[in-house]
Amino acid sequence: MRVFARLLVLFATLLAAPAAPAIAAHLGAALVAESAAPPGARVMLALAMRPEPGWHGYWSNPGDAGFAMRLAWSLPAGAHVGALQYPVPEPLAISGLMNHVYQRDYAVLVPLTLPRDAKPGTSLPIAVTGDRLVCSAQICVPERASLATTIRVTAPDAPLARDPRFDEWRARLPAPLGALAHIAVEARSIRLAIPLPAGLALADPHVFVEADRLVDYAAPQAFARRGDLLLVTLRRAALAPLTPPSLVAVLRLDAVGDGLRFTAVPGPVPEGGLPLAGGAPAVSLAWLLLAALVGGLLLNVMPCVFPILSLKALSLARAGESEAQARREGLAYAAGVIAACVALGAGLLALRAAGEEVGWAFQLQQPLVVVALLALAAAIAANLLGLFEFAVPGFIGSAASEARGAFATGLLAAFVATPCTGPFMAGAMGAALLLPALPALALFATLGLGIALPFLAIALIEPLRRALPRPGRWMGRLRRVMAMPMALTALALVWLASRLGGWSLALAAILVTAALLVLLGWAGRGQRRGQAVAGPLAGGLGALALAAMLLLPGTVRKPAAEAPDILPAQPYSENALAAARASGHPVFAFFTADWCLTCKVNERVAIERPTVRDAFARAGVIVLKGDWTRRDAAITRYLTAQGAAGVPLYVWYPRGGGAAQQLPQVLESKMLTALAK
């Protein structure tokens, strides 16, 4: 299920601005008083909610998204209201994220104290304006309701007629637990010991924590019984306080909605206990690992990997020279790919834990990283053409550097190949952003294994090695031919530098690369003369790197606007998507990046086509384009909510608020024109 993402793209707008009047009330509301009351007495009010079928409202802590009610009261002088009393909520997991909601009729109770000087026989007007978010499986709508009632003031000894519905509404409130629970905070988890009679039945329990962002709402909750203690293990949120002074939560006991409200303070929480079934379903790590493996394997044939096929081809050619050499190079190449994937994954997780809105391929959103890749690609192309024979940093070299060269080839292959996502890979990488560190890193490592698997198989399986051409003079010719893809890669990186930091950065990057090639050319000439050039070359490379780091940041500018596309599109933003969905028109949202070759191929062959433009115009389709070339927090949040770690991503919202459809990562224009019809 992917529909949850549409909640997230609305929330920033809803939290930043007052809710607009709803077109239709999908969450009916009424303000009800339990009874009349004498002066100074306390009377209970109820905000009675009636969601339409398929819609839901939110608890005081809505979970991963949404927001609770915001109320503005208009009361007689001397009257005041107490804290809202919510019924026990229910968990609603969508697309890996957890919501705390109500999907059936419910009431939020509010105690009201009347003025002491109120005159018996009068009626006091009570009014409230409430903003709330109501959602279905397809869309979220902010609604505002202005509610009013009156309370008759009676004499102190007058009999009172009570509204019988309040008995049922009170029964749905969580009962207070008569004893304190204990909490123990660990590095990745929060453990609770809740005093609960061993004979009390539990069916699919769930803990709702009132404090925001203290726990990971979507993570599975583990329950165990140990005598008269219920032991609960929750996963900590990334930025949760190390030792919260206390924790207030609601324990849902069963699917009917019975529950207990408890307070936990620091104290002993025993280990062990008899595990209970129930709680949030865990995602199968085995299936995610399989998806990462297959996704990495398929990434070898994705267009975004083509620029480094020259390095892989040479690795394959040299792998046939001997069994020992093949095994050594295959294992070293696989180690390099896996190491790069794990390093990129660890960096991504660390940045997200620190609060950064980043996603898969964050390294190619940095202008200076792109300049470094440009210099490296140009150096490799020059090496393949024979400008110099020094391996930089060991990609192509002598037999003594075979393992280092294969390892470095794997590092570069993964670094350049992984920004694009392919089939199976998107779901696995999206899940990795929500898992604890160790399972997430296991997914990144398995992705690397999938990328390296074809070459590892050739290294370890002798019949496959026999099928390779025998080494010969053709390898020298192949080496020169394979310089062309690397040269084209360098040109593509020049263009990408211009898209990230303007043509001023691109020109500076060209000058740095030219200086590097001059330096390498000098070294190559010295090598051919038999001169020792390692020391001077290392000094020159160091000086050039230092100069580049000092000068290049000052050349970064805002890139120039691109020429208009064939398909008219608005820039993606959370506000733009909310407005487009509210208009009732179909919406096509696509997310791309200049460094993603899969994205660019799809745009050329499927999206930017006159037939698609005309079909969309006839159907009134609103097109939103999310350009993720540079870091964009709103796009990162949307990708994460859709379960995608990177681009490309294509989402179709049908006319009239139907369920969203996530489209394949390889598009055809016929598919888009058919959707428009």
What distance lies between CA 482 and its chain's CA centroid?
A: 37
Residues found in the chain: 677
**Whether pTM exceeds 0.85:** no
The pLDDT value given to residue 617: 92
Which of 252-256, 300-304, 322-326, 436-440 tops mean pLDDT?
252-256
Shared domain for 308 and 254, answered yes or no, is: no
For the chain, the farthest-separated pair of C-alpha atoms sits apart, in whole angstroms, at 114
pLDDT at 475: 66
Do 63 and 202 lie in a common domain? Answer: no
Query: What is the predicted pLDDT for the residue at 645?
Result: 66
Give the highest mean pLDDT range of 145-149, 385-389, 422-426, 596-600: 145-149
> Token pair for residue 130?
């409430």
What is the mean predicted confidence (pLDDT) over 16-38? Answer: 70
> Would residue 509 count as lying in a domain?
yes
Q: Are residues 550 and 473 in the same domain?
A: yes
Mean local confidence (pLDDT), 147-155? 94
Residue 302 is predicted with a pLDDT of 60
Residue 564 counted as domain residue: no
**What value does the mean pLDDT take over residues 277-301?**
69
Residue 304 sits in the same domain as residue 453 = yes
Do residues 513 and 604 both lie within one domain? no
Comparing C-alpha atoms, which of 48, 49, 103, 37 is closest to residue 76?
37
CATH, residue 167? 2.60.40.1250
**In terms of domains, do 117 and 45 share one?**
yes
Mean pLDDT, rounded, for 365-382: 82
Percentage of the chain surpassing pLDDT 90? 24
479 assigned to some structural domain = yes
For residue 614, count other CB atoms closer than 10 A to its CB.
12
Domain membership of residue 565 (yes or no) is no
The per-residue pLDDT of the chain, averaged, comes to: 80
Q: What is the pLDDT of residues 167-185, one digit of tens each?
A: 889 989 998 887 889 998 8
Q: What is the DSSP letter of 85?
A: B
When mean pLDDT is compared over 19-28, 29-38, 485-494, 567-576, the highest value belongs to: 29-38
116 with 195, same domain: the answer is: no
Assigned domain for 357 exists: yes
Indicate whether 396 pLDDT > 50.
no
- The residue that leads in pLDDT, 661 or 590, is 590
Residue 443 banded pLDDT, cuts 50, 70, 90: confident
For the chain, the domain total comes to 4
**Measured distance CA(160)–CA(111) in Å, rounded:** 17
Provide CB contacts within 8 A for 611, sequence distance 6+.
669, 673
pLDDT of residue 81: 94
Give the dihedral of Cα atoms 484, 485, 489, 494; nearest 10 deg. 20
Q: Is residue 560 part of a domain?
A: no
Q: Which residues span the domain enclosing 252?
A: 176-276
Radius of gyration of the chain (CA): 31
What pLDDT does residue 398 have? 44
Q: Are residues 522 and 604 in the same domain?
A: no
The last residue of one of the domains, among 243, 276, 309, is 276
- Domain boundary (138, 171, 204) is at 171
pLDDT tens for 507-555 read 998 999 999 999 888 888 887 887 878 788 888 888 888 888 888 888 8
The residue out of 555, 586, 609 marking a domain boundary is 555
- Which tens digits make up the pLDDT trace of 617-659? 999 999 999 988 777 777 877 776 676 667 888 988 888 766 6
561 inside domain: no
pLDDT for position 22: 36
- If asked whether residues 167 and 181 sit together in one domain, one would say no
pLDDT at 395: 41
| Residue 409 maps to a domain | yes
* Residue 266 belongs to domain with CATH number: 2.60.40
Identify the pLDDT of residue 537: 83
- Give residue for tokens 């229910």: 90
Same-domain status, 249 and 139: no
Query: Are 526 and 601 in a shared domain?
Result: no
Pair (182, 83) in one structural domain: no
Partners of residue 147 on adjacent β-strands = 128
pLDDT-based confidence at 327, cuts 50/70/90? confident
